[in-house]
Amino acid sequence: MRRVVFLSSPHQTPHPFFQQPNPIAVLHADIERLIAATGLESTIIRPGMLASNSLAWWAPAIRAGEAVRWPYGAAETAPVDDRDIAAVAARTLHQDGYTGGDYVLTGPESLTQAAQIGVIGDALGRQIPFEEMTPDEFRNLSQGTAPSSVVDMLLAAWSAAVGQPAYITTAVADILGTAPRTFRQWAADHAAAFTEGSQGS
């Protein structure tokens, strides 16, 4: 079978969150051009913010029983469940009808980052304190853990996302025939990763 499904990024999406300078998006665009030049049957899927990012970002503080300190708590995103992304990739790879398709995948609801932390707290049965961090604090804490260009892109995207609903599509439901999982479902299914003694995954 001469078919490719490429997991790209929503860098062409008409929403300020996705319009920030992004070295990863430049790389993805180059790969998309290379795929197009091969003449293979191809489908591009573009997940937005991943629900699983919260494991890397917030789980350490939550497991330690500490407040989550994070910048731009009012920034709204629509976290998409990794399982929905995988199901879409499998469907578009193995079933006909998706060649040439270009799909932005999002979760079904727009939630501020602070609200997402609250949802995780609900799944754990306790309130998780949230404290706003300044962008400069975030830059300092991120040194050595992520390239500065990625940190700057995230901060710019979150800043642009404050005060407006996240970009939401129906692509997951359109392709799978079932509603995308909510962040509340994701948090309930991954609650153990946020509990003391867990190392996450």
Mind listing the pLDDT tens digit for each residue in 31-67?
888 888 888 899 999 999 999 999 999 999 999 999 9
The pLDDT tens digits for 137-182 are: 999 999 988 888 889 989 999 999 999 999 999 999 999 999 999 9
Strands (E) across 71-162 are located at 76-77, 102-105, 111-112, 130-132
CB 156 within 8 A of CB 21: yes
Structure-block tokens of residue 11: 């860098």
Check residues 33 and 191 and name the one with the higher pLDDT: 191
Bridge partners, residue 131, by sequence? 69
What angle do helix axes 135-142 and 148-161 make, rounded to 10 degrees? 150
Instruction: Please report the pLDDT score of residue 201 as a whole number.
Output: 45
Q: Per-residue confidence at 17, pLDDT binned at 50, 70, 90?
A: low
Segment 180-195 shows an average pLDDT of 97
Q: What is the value of pTM for the model shown? A: 0.88
18-22, 23-27, 32-36, 67-71: which has the highest mean pLDDT? 67-71
CB 179 within 8 A of CB 39: no
CA distance readout (Å), 44 to 32, 36, 86, 115, 130:
8, 10, 13, 30, 36
